[in-house]
């Protein structure tokens, strides 16, 4: 049974854990929560999220209401955990499945041992450049807008922390290798960039096949509501 949440709690301030659906933007999820609350409370309420997920990613999205929107920066700064897949042997312009494969690379030299060993290069504090198709601003313009206009400017690197990088499964088929992984990392880490750089370190190419955020700080996806179930909690 889904526990009901009194309306007064949303007004005073509430931290909601939502399992963001595939192909939804983070704003789509916030908009849905805001609209549902407005319908039930008959008033406007501050609603915001702590940490954007790409449309092709699923998983934990922290949504704050009322006075708790003041804690968004606090939640955004906490460690994140992700699971997903890297596709080794091919790249895409966006380093994920938003775009079609643009180049294929050799994989014959890549062994399971090499894949596991290469994770050591990406554990600890590393320099990482955001993906070209990202919301990072370059001279006041979003990088993805420049990329769509054909500007392939390499974005400046930043320091990020990857505390854990675990290879969970390796599947080889045809001219591609699918690697299932788990990563615990700091704020500002791009898993698409990790996929891109991991492929390069293997003397090949790679892109992100799937991504799911499973944890933010002490908040776990296990405690998250689907959008449909969230609607049922409002009393």
DSSP label at 234? B
CA angle 102, 138, 81 (to 5 degrees): 65
Catalytic residue numbers read 54
Q: Which residues contact 172 (CB under 8 A, 6 or more apart)?
A: 107, 178
Helix (H, G, I), strand (E, B) or coil at 220: strand
Q: Which residues contact 73 (CB under 8 A, 6 or more apart)?
A: 50
**Short-list 81, 69, 52, 25, CA closest to 221:** 81
In DSSP terms, 60 is beta-bridged to 19
**Region of 52 on the Ramachandran plot (φ > 0 left; ψ -120 to 50 alpha; else beta):** beta
Distance in angstroms (rounded) separating the CA atoms of residues 83 and 184: 9
Both tokens of 56, joined, read 């092709």
Instruction: Based on DSSP, count helices (H) and strands (E) in the chain, helices before strands.
Output: 7, 13
């Amino acid at each position: 049974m889904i526990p009901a949440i009194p309306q007064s709690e949303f007004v005073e301030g509430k931290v909601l854990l939502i399992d963001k659906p595939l192909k939804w933007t983070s704003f789509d999820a916030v908009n849905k929560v805001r609209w549902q609350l407005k319908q039930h409370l008959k008033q406007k309420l501050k609603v915001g999220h702590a940490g954007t997920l790409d449309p092709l990613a699923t998983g934990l999205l922290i949504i704050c209401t009322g006075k708790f929107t003041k804690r968004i920066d606090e939640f955004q700064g906490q460690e994140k955990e992700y699971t997903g897949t890297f596709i080794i042997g091919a790249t895409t312009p966006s380093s994920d499945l938003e775009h079609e494969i643009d180049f294929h690379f050799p994989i014959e030299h890549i062994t399971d041992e090499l894949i596991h060993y290469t994770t050591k290069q990406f554990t600890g504090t590393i320099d990482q450049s955001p993906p070209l198709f990202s919301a990072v601003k370059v001279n006041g313009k979003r990088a993805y807008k420049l990329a769509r206009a054909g500007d392939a400017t390499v974005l400046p690197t930043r320091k990020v922390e990857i505390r854990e990088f675990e290879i969970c499964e390796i599947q080889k088929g045809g001219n591609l290798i699918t690697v299932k992984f788990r990563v615990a990392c700091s704020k500002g880490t791009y898993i698409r960039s990790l996929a891109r750089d991991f492929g390069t370190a293997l003397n090949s190419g790679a892109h992100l096949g799937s991504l799911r955020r499973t944890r933010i700080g002490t908040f776990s996806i296990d405690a998250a509501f689907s959008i449909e179930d969230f609607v049922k909690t409002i009393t």
